[in-house]
Structure 1
């Protein structure tokens, strides 16, 4: 049963709140953000009429907000709130009211917030920001940062053994009498590869047995079963490219640079020039930056913000993304890589000459193409190509065929991309002075990434719930950082 708190109900001790400075950050945030949206977000997870009385979702959400704002652990935020008047005022309790146990915060994050599309919480906060007119810029900056997993990567055999032990412990906790019915872990024999295959087969058998014995498993046991299935079904596990942690099976190796890797997760972020994070997509560390781009644009549009320009580095300058921006009439201030600028170039190809009058290509040997054809889908995710065909019989007798014609081949072609208007405009803009001036503004999102990681704990995963836990952590952190920025943008008169 859901029970809502009444902020500062009649209490003699509530007079103590008059000692909170009028310009305190939490008072300003309270004036700017209506946190009641959490009630609708988690409402379906509660029974409004039956069961034990539940703690107020808004109060719990505000506690978690304080936790991310000041980078505190579950235990620390409860202890701090007991003695901090501003914290207790912010969550809506009287000074003498008791606080929930810290374990309730974890349950609320996972089973209430985690049951919904957590990114919608960020969207709701940004909507309020837009409605209040705090966002003045129509440009967004896009970039990615990373978070280390709190758990170390392991070799496949160790991952499989750990997963089996974790599942057995969960069964023992649920019903210790069932342990005798589980298959015992054998002694794995042979070379490392053979041992890994044997361990994988054993883990699959163990998972099937547990599911047969406990088909309606819930809680931690269900989580362990899901981890087991994820590991068993990972085709890349034994190649050391897939799951590398039994405790954090969603984490993956990604690259910070050409020589430096990390094990964890990647957060793709969209932010206004004003410093408000409008969208976030959290994925395993090996995810592609470019493929996250459309989701960031979509999430940003859902906030009601009208975007006229996107600033991003060359990781986002794909054909698909440029086409998307052209469709939405958004200026692509995106660094283009050499392939997008010039296409594939080599010394041999530069010797082919196109004659526009005859619409043919002349090869280095002086022979002209005999026909041409358009290749590729007209509305595909890459340029169509104009392919020119040459008389193979002439190629066979040509003294310059080395490096040009493959002996025995039935055809000889030369292709050039058909550059669409949106790509041509992007290339022309890329070379302009206005592009260079605007592109310099990207430092703002790099500063935001630094703030998220070094001041609010996003540098490392804090929850043991894989990708879901990382999504919850990242979105809640973004909300806290946005709230700080909203205070600076609004600078309202402080009044209670």
Structure 2
């Protein structure tokens, strides 16, 4: 049963918070900045109102998850730290003498209460609204880019993760007690998952009652991570070697990753105004319409978008033009510089308006590519006399024997693309394009400060939840800094 309102804090020891927790403490500042009651309002239909045991306030549970994201620690460690850290208790609206929840409550909260909730858009909307109310967002420019997150299933298999976690735990133990090695269970030396599970469980059991060692923070944290890994593999045993929602994406021609993409729109003040999360193979440019729509719904006034080449498709250029938005995005070199396959071999005859092949034969007719999709740049197709190709001495690598036709395709610049090429040469475009570094820095912050380089669970829904909490945290910190 859901509590009807937030808990009223009545304690003889509450004055300790004013003495112990500094005015500039991060958690104090976040608590004073935002009213978290919106969480209860959003989840009110996920609870029974007239039956069952009184539930833990969802606002409190959400704050536990926020603490977990801010400090990048496990469920067990965030609960344990909340038992002794006064700033945590203050943030959680607990009295100094109150006890904490069971860590399993956080798992149930994620799976039962936050399931099917659009947490990503909800949290971004709240922080953007807060930034607008505080007068922080003044620009009318959005910067767009994507960042990738590796799947939890890659690059390590379950057995590799277990070996890594147990190795980290043993290392922390050896640093504390160099003689403990003899009392630990013998390491598993093969790559059999069942044997590694048995060994890891034995290692955890061996330390179960050793309070002297498990009370040491660095040992306890590694032990808790190993426990979580064991629980996760048991829960996802049949799909532990792969994440069915993750896909292979490419960062460059020669480098790839297996996981997810987070597509981000950010104001010049570095507040994230919209985000979509997809599997890794999705193209960046296709997300521009959604990012624009979400940002506007969140209250952003928009007249300029700064983005890399991936966002300068013909479709996006038309959309920007129709909405009176300046798209500061360079056209692909194949359009800007007229790149064509075998450009040195096929020459254009401006008098005939046709291309001539390396053997000197001129195309016999031309037509627009009827198969080109609406979102693709149109192409002109030049047709050559196949009878000449069949007997041509230069046909190797040019004409496929038996083919009924031989064509040569050339990209056509649309009026919108011609206008964009002219726009690229302006001083305004060049100045605005330099702002792209800001979103590169934001992506680095998400990964290196908030642990966003790797998924903490399996599947797209879990990735969206992780993205929601990470972006919410980053936005709150940025707002506090600007205030």
Same fold (TM over 0.5): yes
Partner in structure 2 of residue 151 of structure 1: 153
TM-score by length of 2: 0.72
Is 2:425 aligned against 1:428?
no
Counterpart residue number, 1:89: 90
Q: Quick check: 1:29 aligned with 2:30?
A: yes
TM-superposed CA distance for 1:273, in Å, is 1.4
Q: What is the number of residues matched between the two proteins?
A: 409
**What is the rounded CA distance, in whole Å, between the counterparts of 2:384 and 2:260 in structure 1?**
50
Deviates more, 1:303-312 or 1:412-421: 412-421
Could you tell me whether the CA contact under 8 Å between 1:8 and 1:14 is conserved in 2?
no
Cα deviation digits, residues 382-424 of structure 1 (max 9, x gap): 2334556677789999999998888887666665544322222
Distance 1:468 1:6 in 2: 28
Match of 1:116 in 2: 117
For 2:346 and 2:283, locate their aligned partners in 1 and report how far apart those are by CA, in whole Å. Answer: 32
TM-score (norm 1): 0.70
Match of 1:250 in 2: 245
State which of 287, 310, 318 in structure 2 corresponds to 1:315: 310
1:334 and 1:313 mapped to 2: Cα distance? 5
Matched residue SS, 1:352 = strand
For residues 265-294 of structure 1, what are the alpha-carbon distances to aligned partners after superposition, in whole Å with 9 as ceiling and x for unaligned?
322222111111122222333333333333
Q: Verify the 8 A CA contact 1:123 1:302 in the aligned structure 2.
A: no
Q: Deviations over 1:137-157 (max 9, x none)?
A: 2222222222233334589xx
Alpha-carbon spacing, 1:352–1:32, altered in 2? closer, same or farther (3 Å): same
Contact 1:5 1:92 in 2 (8 A): no
Q: Name the CA shift for 1:346/1:86 in 2 (closer, same or farther; >3 Å).
A: same
Q: Does the 8 Å CA contact 1:123/1:299 hold for their aligned counterparts?
A: no
Deviation at 1:438, TM superposition (A): 2.1
Q: Does 1:483 align with 2:483?
A: no
Question: Any residues of structure 2 matched to 1:267-306 within 5 Å, and which?
Answer: 267-306=262-301
In structure 1, the partner of 2:347 is: 351
Is the partner of 1:13 in helix, strand or coil? coil
Q: Tell me, yes or no, if the aligned pair for 2:143 and 2:267 is still in contact at 8 Å.
A: yes
1:257, distance to aligned residue in structure 2 (A): 3.7
SS of 2:118's partner is coil
Deviation of 1:483 (Å): 0.2
How far did 1:476 drift? 0.4
Query: Does structure 2 conserve the Cα–Cα contact (< 8 Å) formed by 1:119 and 1:280?
Result: yes
2:50 alignment counterpart = 49
Deviations 1:42-86 (A, max 9, x none): 222111222221111111112211221222221222222223333
With over 3 angstroms needed to count, the CA separation of the structure-2 counterparts of 1:34 and 1:309, relative to structure 1, is same
Aligned CA distance change for structure 1 residues 360 and 258 (closer, same or farther; 3 Å):
closer
Contact residue 153 and residue 245 of structure 1 kept, 8 A = no
Distance 1:374 1:483, change over 3 A: same
Q: Per-residue deviation at 1:473?
A: 0.9
RMSD of Structure 2 on Structure 1 (CA): 3.7
Q: Which runs of 5+ in 1 are unaligned?
A: 159-222, 232-242, 492-496
Kindly state the Cα deviation for residue 434 of structure 1 after the two structures are TM-superposed. 3.4
**1:128 corresponds to which residue?**
130
